[in-house]
Every structure is written in C-alpha cells, then in structure tokens.
Amino acid sequence: MREIVFDTETTGLDPQGGDRLVELGCVEMVNRVPTGATYHAYFNPERDMPAEAEAVHGLSAAFLADKPRFAQCAADFLEFIGDAPLVAHNAGFDFGFINAELSAIGMEPVSRDRMVDTVAIARRKHPGAKLSLDALCTRYGIDRSHRTKHGALLDAELLAQLYVELMGGRQIGLELAAEVSVSSAVTGAVAAVAAVAEVTVAKTTRIFREPRPHAASEAELARHAEFMAGISNPLWSR
C-alpha cells in the first residue's frame, strides 16, 4: 500500500485569515517502508513573515522572495501524492492550508477522506500523554537531535518513523516470531496426531457378567427402621 507522509510550514495558523503555505515536504512509503522518494518545495507567500512564525521554522520573507508561487508547483505536488492516503501530524491543520491554496487557484481540494491523523492515533494509544512530534519521538526513541527548527521535509521524515511505530512497527518481528512458533506447534501437533493414527489398537472381547444384587438385607432394613423411629418430628411427617 502506498502512503504519503507530509508536513507543512506556514506564515501562521489561519489560512482563511490570510496566512499562507511556505514549505511542503512529503515522504513516500510503500507497505510502511520509506521508498526514498520525496517531494520538497518552498513557496513565496507574497506577504510578510510574522516574527512568531519565523521563530518556529526560520524561513524569512527575504529567503522566500525568489521561490516559486504555490500555483507554479501545484501540479507537481498533486502528481506526487497521486491518490494515496495522506499522513500528517494534526492533519486537519495541514489539509486546511493545502486546500486553501488549491481553492485560491481554482483547483479541487484534496478529499479529507484520504486524511490519516497521527495525533488521533497517538491519542488513542496514549491517552493523557503529550502528543507533540517532539514528545512522541522521545517516547519511541526516534533521534531528533538534528532538528533545531521545524522543517517540512525533516518533520515528514521523522513523522514517517513515528507513524511506523504508532502502527506497531517494532512489534513486527515479535509477531513473525509468534507466527513461526505457532506454526511449529501446529506442525508438531499434526505430526503427533499422524503418529497416533498409525498405531493399531488391539480389539478386546468384552465378557458379559450378570448384574450383582444390591438389595438391603433383613438386618439392614431393621436397623434403618430403628434409626428412623428415633427421629422426633421429622419433616416428612408434617
């Protein structure tokens, strides 16, 4: 199965309020294994860069001034993602910006049916825990020492590792071992049954015996009657 893990960097938090997409990074995975294929682009937002946003990702208006507009790269981006599911951390945020940019140039938005949100997956697995990318990488032992600032492609690469872990990546080897163990046990059991089936059981002839009498003797009946007579106010006489 082909999936695309991606991340975005923006000028702010609200695409409907004028914030724009400035960086997009995508990592291709097939059967939860990175293929090495990536998509990465910076975009000129055609507006200023708020200091708060620049402090997060380090992308200045001057750096982005000579980068292409999103409209110039949209076709390449859509070709890369194809019809694959799209995995993102807090995916609703990233989808909001991508679809705002597509709508602005008259293109169809990406269906949210394709959205896979790793925050939602992590919340189900670790209720009450911190769910930031940094916190989850620490939980799963994913090296992020080279991440001094947010970067779309770098974060997508980290998220690809995290996604595999959230989906049980480190248990794959254990599951295979368990399957081998079960398979061996089943094979052994089948062999044992086959061996038993090969044993010829000797037939025996049953000897008929007359049933033995079990009636109480006269003395036993007398002792019983004596015992019953000694019970005062028995329940069966009420």
> For the segment 74-117, what is each residue's pLDDT rounded down to a tens digit?
999 999 999 999 999 999 999 999 999 999 999 999 999 999 99
Q: What is the pLDDT of residue 214?
A: 67
203: Cα separation from own chain's centroid: 58
Residues assigned a catalytic role: 150
- Which of 51, 101, 53 is CA-nearest to residue 75? 101
Q: Does the pTM exceed 0.85?
A: no
Which domains are assigned to the chain? 2-171 (3.30.420.10)
134-152 burial: b if 16+ Cβ within 10 Å, else e: eebbebeebeeeeeeebbb
Q: What is the pLDDT of residue 88?
A: 98
Task: Return the ∠ at Cα 47 (arms to 73 and 39), rounded to 5°.
Answer: 25
Concatenated DSSP letters of 77-124: HHHHHTT--EEETTHHHHHHHHHHHHHHTT-PPPPGGGEEEHHHHHHH
